[in-house]
Amino acid sequence: MSINQRVKQVRQSLNLSQAKFAKALSISNGYIAGIELEHNHVNDRLVKLICFTFHVRESWLKTGEGNMFEEKQDQLIEMASAAFKELKPEYQDYILKQIDQLLDIQNREKGE
């Protein structure tokens, strides 16, 4: 399966028309139609845009390997990591201590 076919597969799995898919990406309907007919090339910019907009895994879009969509867990980790990086070092230490305490509680609950 080509990258063009995978773009079409993404659109179809989201139940979007070519027009709605194109609008979400801020590109023309004709360009999407051309991609799906394999007349237009899928460039790196479009790959990044599709992945960002629809939470598609870039490796899947490029190669077809693995899952089509990012795991919800991956998104949560990215959000937590970004927020953590914004904190002052002393607040980062506090968060790490809180995580340790939550892990202790969780482990105790498993032992019950």
Mean of the per-residue pLDDT values of the chain: 91
Tokens representing residue 78 in the block: 């990215």
Q: Roughly how many angstroms between the first and final C-alpha of the chain, as a whole number?
A: 50
Q: What is the pLDDT of residue 98?
A: 93
- Structure confidence by residue, pLDDT tens digits, 32-72: 999 999 999 999 999 999 999 998 999 999 999 999 998 77
Q: How far apart are alpha carbons 51 and 6 in whole angstroms?
A: 12
- Inform me whether the pLDDT recorded for 10 exceeds 90: yes
- Using the structure block, give the residue that is written with the tokens 């629809």: 54
Q: What is the pLDDT of residue 12?
A: 96
More confident residue, 99 or 71: 99
Q: What is the pLDDT of residue 16?
A: 94
Using a pLDDT cut of 90, give the percent of the chain over it. 71
Average confidence (pLDDT) over 84-88 = 90
- Inform me whether the pLDDT recorded for 112 exceeds 70: no
27: Cβ contacts below 8 Å, ≥ 6 apart: 46
Q: Cα-Cα-Cα-Cα dihedral of 11, 35, 54, 81, to 10°?
A: 150
Q: Cα-Cα-Cα-Cα dihedral of 4, 6, 50, 15, to 10°?
A: 120
Tokens representing residue 110 in the block: 């498993």
